[in-house]
Amino acid sequence: MKQYLQQRKGLVQGVFNKVFDKYDTMNDFMSLGAHRIWKKNLILSLNPSNNKNLIDVACGTGDIAKLYIESTNEEADVMCVDPNINMINSSKKRLDNFKNIKWSLSSAENLKIKSNSYDFYTISFGLRNTKNIKKSLEEAYRVLKPGGKFVCLEFSKIENKNFDIIYKKYSKIIPSIGKFVVGDDKPYEYLVKSIENFINQEELLELIKKSNFQKCKYRNLSGGIVAIHSGWKI
């Protein structure tokens, strides 16, 4: 499934080139500060283990990698992947004290990773920014070991109509807040639009199933503002 907004040449790279140094602030605005709780829920869904390695795609500033390593007493190995060099450098600087993290500059659609390499694959708030969801899911399946688990945390569709109305009204003012805080509203306009245009929970679940994952399911958080989807390579 191609993402037509994300297909515009240089659009996504341009967005993250502008906000890489304020990425966590951006996530606070988009999630009302709840993204830190959601990410902890993602980690808990993995049931981390010292002898199981993780590939985190669209790693941003490295929140998932940090949480995973800390949950394994800093013994597990993690590969952080991002298509934006500024994001990679930002996460390297932030996680410099962790010696068991490696980085790869590549996209979710074309991972520079050997097949059957990782126990866990995570992607948080990154799938909707890919140019091709289907290809990204196929790559996730390829790099996972047999028995490996795929987990995606992404903005989704709110279940309650009244809550949805309130959240959409809030979303409309996010670009203005972004301009006031970071000096630019364009990245926030893109991010709000990318959330509005993204597929719903059931549609994403079907795409994951069609990518050969088994035992696929999802769980809504915060009334469906986000959802955690998962599947197994069996």
Categorize the per-residue pLDDT at 178 as very low, low, confident or very high, splitting at 50, 70 and 90. confident
Q: Is the pLDDT of residue 8 over 60?
A: no
Residue with tokens 């949950």: 71
- What are phi and psi for residue 219, nearest 5 degrees? -135, 125
Mean pLDDT, range 39-47, rounded to an integer: 95
Q: What percent of the chain has pLDDT over 90?
A: 64
Confidence tier at 67 by pLDDT (50, 70, 90): very high
Residue 4 banded pLDDT, cuts 50, 70, 90: very low
Q: How many C-beta neighbours within 10 Å does residue 52 have?
A: 19
pLDDT at residue 2 is higher than 60: no
Q: Are 167 and 32 in contact (CB under 8 A)?
A: no
The domain over range 34-158+200-232 is classified in CATH as 3.30.465.10? no
Q: What does the domain layout of the chain look like in residue ranges?
A: 34-158+200-232
User: Picking from 13-17, 22-26, 190-194, which range would have the lowest pLDDT averaged per residue?
Assistant: 13-17
Q: Is the pLDDT of residue 78 over 90?
A: yes
% the chain with pLDDT above 70: 87
Give the phi and the psi of residue 21 in degrees, each rounded to 5.
-85, -5
Query: The pTM is what?
Result: 0.90
pLDDT at residue 26, rounded to an integer: 67
**What does the pLDDT average to over 102-107?**
96
* Residue 33 φ then ψ, to 5°: 85, 0
**Given a cut of 60, is residue 1 above it in pLDDT?**
no
What is the structure's pLDDT at 17? 60
pLDDT at 10: 54
